[in-house]
Amino acid sequence: MYILPNTDVEILDDGGLQLVELNPVDPWLTDLREPLELQEGEVKVTYITHACMELQLGQKRFMFDPWLKGPAFARGWWLLHEPPADSLDRLCSADLIYISHMHSDHLSYPTLRVLSERRPDIPIYVGDTSRPVFWYLEQSQVELTNINVMPFGVWQDIDEHLRFMILMDGVHPEMDTCIIVEYKGHMILNTVDCTRPNGGRLPENVDLMMGDFAGGASGFPMTFFGGKYTDSWKADFIKNERNKLLNYKAQLVKTLQPKIYCPFAGYFVEAHPSDRYIKDTNIKNRGEDLNALINKLTPGIMTWTPKPGSVLDLGLALRDLNNSPPASAKIYKDSWDFDLYVDEQNSAISCEIFKHPSWIQFYYTWAGFQNYNLVVRVIETDDSFEPLTDGYDYLVDFLDLSFPTKRPDREHSYVEIKNRIGVMRSVVLHGRLWDDLYIGFQNRISRDPDIYHHRFWNHFQIELPLHKPDWDQFLQQQTSIKEPDTSKEDLDIWNYCVVS
């Protein structure tokens, strides 16, 4: 297929294609600046953990994606690397912060709660995505007073020498972004998690490029069961996908020819004991492996595999690449305060709304997804994904948003989802996106036929309403109709699901 110059192709929800004009085509070329010589110590990049980097740029300190404490995606992801002991102090004393997107391994509310208590007015910059990066801020009760939503492809001047530009992702423009930071004409490109950053058009020969590498940031195929989803099939699939990702990233680096490349944003672990199966199955790429492949394909590009606290001095890097963390630095985490965060999520289990089975219809009506020929069975389970005798087990027919007691006779697609009760009820109660369940490995899924339902998952992972369900209104409705307290026998009507 021939594509017109200065255009990109986007895939629509119905599978069709749409040409999108890139305007401006290469916005970083606007007001081009010649690089000035950097002095030793003038530009230093410090790896903190996962996707969090601290950039010292002259007199300014710029922090990326601070996830420094707590889990991400409910209780599914935990930090692999131990942040430096002073990481929260460094965050709270930074001059500005960039948060690339709303996923909780980049926008960490446990981390930002500390920031809000100590310095709520710090300037935070995000891209103007259709799903606001901070859509959950009000409900989180984290108070940040200086969030700046920036247009894409426009230089933002911080001082005489420092500026940055946020770009959108070509595959997920509704939520993902990346950033170019320039200091005295020297560019740092951070592609973060973007699948196709800026539609594939990126600056070449930047001084430093950093991006993700690990893979494994999805429930597929680890959380799927039945049919072909044996452990051996999963192992072969994961191995092939990780190799494809490594080769894609290495080829991208070869094309763009940065002076230095750094793999980051992939240092997480499924540390909770209940997720041992996921941890053992979800094998990820190592930064060292990607850098070795880059060195093989393009020997002229320097690579940096960071450890917590290690510093890259950009002015010295081409002569002496320092990849050594401080001697006292701890590399890997070995404790995560599981109970603190899991107990917080499990507190939703006993919430008043779940005593009334009609919460199910109220919630899915709020969610607003229908007119799609899919029937989903949702089963509440314990941590081992065994159904609970006092949990809900129900069907949702998304063709007409009904709640049948058995699967309909018509031809239809069917998905069965077993959700850990604490995470599912927390998601429902707070109106959070289903990323906590799917990307966080908090469910087990089977489907017939074995196809991906993009419209369904895209809606529940990205397009849910910005405000949570009005549970106060719901409870008032229950009072007005004088619904009796729900006994075990009453719950049985929601444990019917005759599956055939």
Task: Please list the alpha-helical segments (H only) found in 215-318.
Answer: 231-256, 276-281, 287-297, 314-317
What percentage of residues in the chain have a pLDDT greater than 70? 89
The CATH number assigned to the domain holding 412 equals: 3.30.1050
Whether 354 and 318 share a structural domain? no
Residue 31 lies in a domain: no
Q: CB–CB of 277/76 below 8 Å? A: no
Query: What confidence category does residue 435 fall into, taking pLDDT thresholds of 50, 70 and 90?
Result: very high
Whether 391 and 456 share a structural domain? yes
Residue 448 lies in a domain: yes
The reply to whether omega before 173 is within 30° of 0 (cis) is no
Whether 395 and 326 share a structural domain? no
Whether 99 and 226 share a structural domain? yes
Over 90: is that where the pLDDT of 275 sits? yes
More confident residue, 329 or 87: 87
**Domain-ending residue, one of 303, 336, 369:** 336
Task: Identify which of 52, 27, 318, 90 has the alpha carbon closest to the alpha carbon of residue 210.
Answer: 52
**Residue 480's pLDDT is what?**
79
Least confident among 277-281, 455-459, 484-488: 484-488
52-57/60-64 β-pairing: antiparallel
What is the per-residue pLDDT across 140-158, written as a single tens digit (0 to 9) for each? Answer: 999 999 999 999 999 999 9
Query: What confidence category does residue 5 fall into, taking pLDDT thresholds of 50, 70 and 90?
Result: very low
Rounded distance between C-alpha atoms, residue 272 and residue 156, angstroms: 41
Task: Identify which of 408, 490, 476, 415 has the alpha carbon closest to the alpha carbon of residue 446.
Answer: 415
Over 60: is that where the pLDDT of 138 sits? yes
Residue 258 lies in a domain: yes
Q: CB–CB of 382/397 below 8 Å? A: no
The CATH number assigned to the domain holding 242 equals: 3.60.15.10
Task: Identify which of 393, 213, 389 has the alpha carbon closest to the alpha carbon of residue 306.
Answer: 213
**Residue 481's pLDDT is what?**
73
CA torsion 295-296-299-304 (nearest 10°) is 0
Angle at 78 between CA 190 and CA 418, to 5 degrees: 110
**Residue 500's pLDDT is what?**
36
**Residue 7's pLDDT is what?**
54
Record the tokens describing residue 242, joined without a space. Answer: 């990780």
Domain membership of residue 413 as a residue range: 348-494
Residue 423 lies in a domain: yes
Query: What confidence category does residue 458 fall into, taking pLDDT thresholds of 50, 70 and 90?
Result: very high
Rounded distance between C-alpha atoms, residue 251 and residue 344, angstroms: 43
Query: What confidence category does residue 319 fall into, taking pLDDT thresholds of 50, 70 and 90?
Result: low
Whether 368 and 327 share a structural domain? no
**Residue 479's pLDDT is what?**
83
Residue 2 lies in a domain: no
Over 50: is that where the pLDDT of 379 sits? yes
Domain tally for the chain? 2
Residue 15 lies in a domain: no
Q: CB–CB of 263/210 below 8 Å? A: yes
Average pLDDT for the chain: 92
Whether 306 and 362 share a structural domain? no
Over 60: is that where the pLDDT of 13 sits? no
What is the per-residue pLDDT across 436-454, written as a single tens digit (0 to 9) for each? Answer: 999 999 999 999 999 999 9
How many C-beta atoms surround the C-beta of residue 283 within 10 A? 16
What is the per-residue pLDDT across 325-366, written as a single tens digit (0 to 9) for each? Answer: 566 678 999 999 999 999 999 999 999 999 999 999 999 999
User: Mean pLDDT over residues 226-233, rounded?
Assistant: 97
Output the CA–CA distances (angstroms, integers) from residue 233 to 158, 229, 230, 278, 440, in the order listed: 51, 6, 5, 15, 21
φ/ψ region of 70 (left if φ > 0, alpha if ψ in -120 to 50, else beta) reads left
Over 80: is that where the pLDDT of 499 sits? no
**Residue 320's pLDDT is what?**
63
Does the pTM exceed 0.75?
A: yes
Over 60: is that where the pLDDT of 76 sits? yes
HSE, CB side, 13 Å, CA atoms: give it for residue 437.
29
**Residue 8's pLDDT is what?**
56
Query: Which DSSP string do the residues of 111-153 spell out, in sequence order?
Result: HHHHHHHH-TT--EEEE--SS-TTTTHHHHT-----EEEE-TT
Place of tokens 């452990």: 231
SS3 at position 373: coil
Residue 283 lies in a domain: yes
Whether 263 and 387 share a structural domain? no
Residue 13 lies in a domain: no
**Residue 25's pLDDT is what?**
75
Q: CB–CB of 164/153 below 8 Å? A: no
